[in-house]
Chains A and B, each alone.
Chain A
């Protein structure tokens, strides 16, 4: 029973060998569960790293966020002036991208389906819509129109850049995404740092936010210069 549940949680691409290794290492159910829970985050992380193209992911994040911002600009301009408005607009983007990322990691490479990338986009925004209907942090009209716009962009992007698992691979050569990862690894970290900074600053009082942001940016530039 435990093995079956853990099996569902392990991405299909590495399920066979991971479950076998865990079974070989552990005799009892408790030991198996403990070892599996320690191993599982690493396995999922590794699969996400292998199936997420950081450049395409950044493009998807940007186009989704822009869709929601432009929708808010026309329908609810007050949201862009109010504090935490920009942060709230990022919630559906983050949710949808998380679902997309997990969908890519849990895709079975042995079962190829040409429509999978498109169905994944619809599924991601479906889940996001349901989540935001239950926890209404944004007006539903904005979520609906923003999602529709985002889906348009993402479907176009996924037509141009299919998910990594669906791309042809060179036998015995470095993986396709390896070249891009080397270029974009720093960009992804920088984007995450900027997003964290913006999120943190939006929670601070207005008088403090600007100097804190300025100090953080200067410190970031200094650290970057030293590390280079």
Chain B
């Protein structure tokens, strides 16, 4: 079986889209990712690159909405997480949890 996974930054972007739901577009995704990644600085460009890569992998779908005046008559590109993306995020989080549990057990980070 093929294992779908997402890297740490991809996980942040996928989670931001999942949380923002119907309002996931460039600026809002970047703001959410920056909030989650604190104190690490996140550039808008890095978010764009990751969004493109996730779309290429089939994890996301995107579409252009109608133009809005506060953006100088420019459209927003909205993103929606696909089933493949959700599965990849779940797999990655499961893996992280297993790593955390194992390492925590050895080092005593987890209270038993």
Contact = CB atoms under 8 A, between A and B. Distances in A.
Interface of A: 3, 14, 16-25, 35, 38-43, 45-46, 49-50, 172-175, 177-178
Given A38-B43, A39-B43, A46-B48, A18 B26 contact: yes
Contacts of A46: 48-49, 52-53
A223 to B, nearest CB: 21
Nearest to B84: A174
Q: Which of B44, B58, B68, B76 has most A Cβ within 10 Å?
A: B44
A74 B4 CA distance: 52
A19 B27 contact: no
Interface string B58-73: 1001001001101110
Given A23-B72, A38-B45, 13 more contacts: A17-B25, A17-B74, A19-B74, A20-B71, A20-B72, A21-B71, A24-B70, A25-B27, A38-B43, A39-B43, A39-B48, A50-B52, A175-B55
B52 to A, nearest CB: 5
12 contacts: A16-B64, A18-B26, A21-B26, A24-B27, A25-B27, A35-B44, A38-B44, A42-B44, A42-B46, A43-B45, A174-B58, A178-B56
B45 A178 contact: no
Contact of A178 (B57, B76, B82): B57
A175 to B, nearest CB: 4
Interface in B66-106: 67-68, 70-72, 74-77, 82
A173 to B, nearest CB: 6
B48 A18 contact: yes
B34 to A, nearest CB: 11
Contacts of A14: 48, 77
A42 B44 CA distance: 9
B104 to A, nearest CB: 28
Contact of A172 (B61, B64, B74, B75): B61
Interface string B31-52: 0000000000001111011001
A111 B67 CA distance: 21
Contacts of B52: 46, 49-50
A16 B74 contact: yes
Contact of B48 (A42, A175, A178): A42
Given A17-B25, A25-B44, A38-B43, A173 B49 contact: no
A5 to B, nearest CB: 15
